[in-house]
Amino acid sequence: MADATDATGATATPAPPEADPVGTSLLAVRCPWCLADDDRVVDSRMAEDGAAIRRRRQCSDCGHRYTTFERIDEIPLMVIKRSGMRQLFDRGKLIDGLRSATKNRPVTEEQLEVVAREVEEELRVEGWEATSEQVGLAVLEQLRVVDEVAYLRFASVYKGFEDVDDFRREVGLLTKTTAPKRPEA
């Protein structure tokens, strides 16, 4: 858990919108020394390579200075498509894709949610960007355990299968019980 000095806003009460116009003023953070709720920002600068904003604050009551950091709460996961375009990872869209891959298969909606969540978590562990290929492989890894038919259906879409040989190769991989081939990241 973060301590009081770096939890920007955690102890501050939200002011009415008119009183705190966006971009013009900052809420105070409770002073860790005297607990007064009245400070002023004496310095703001980029930190952590632009991922955070560091603010030096000075308590208007006791004069002590302290630092707060402002960071994005949940870093968005970006997917880099083959074309080079970046898109926000969309769990709902992934579930839609999983739903059609598992159509008429004994797979519950709940399992699809789990697969999508596992995929997202796995990608987040590796960073805040993933290629669409990485997404596809992460999905396949999960689907393989859930339902083999769905795995093959999804593989045919994600790997861009062109003919029956591709399918055969994939079935071969499946029956070997080894994980799908995964390029070294």
Binding site for Zn ion (CB under 5 A): 31, 33-34, 36, 59, 61-62
Q: How many Cα atoms within 13 Å fall on the side-chain side of residue 102?
A: 23
Min CB(8)–Zn ion separation in Å: 16
**81-117: burial string, b at 16+ Cβ within 10 Å, e else:** eeeeeeeebeeeebeebbeebbeeeebeeebbeebbe
d(CA 92, CA 43): 41
Question: 61 or 166: whose CB is closer to Zn ion?
Answer: 61
Closest of 21, 53, 22, 25 to residue 38, by C-alpha: 25
Question: 59 or 79: whose CB is closer to Zn ion?
Answer: 59
Min CB(2)–Zn ion separation in Å: 19
d(CA 136, CA 40): 48
Question: 51 or 62: whose CB is closer to Zn ion?
Answer: 62
Min CB(44)–Zn ion separation in Å: 19
Question: 40 or 182: whose CB is closer to Zn ion?
Answer: 40
Min CB(6)–Zn ion separation in Å: 16
Min CB(34)–Zn ion separation in Å: 3
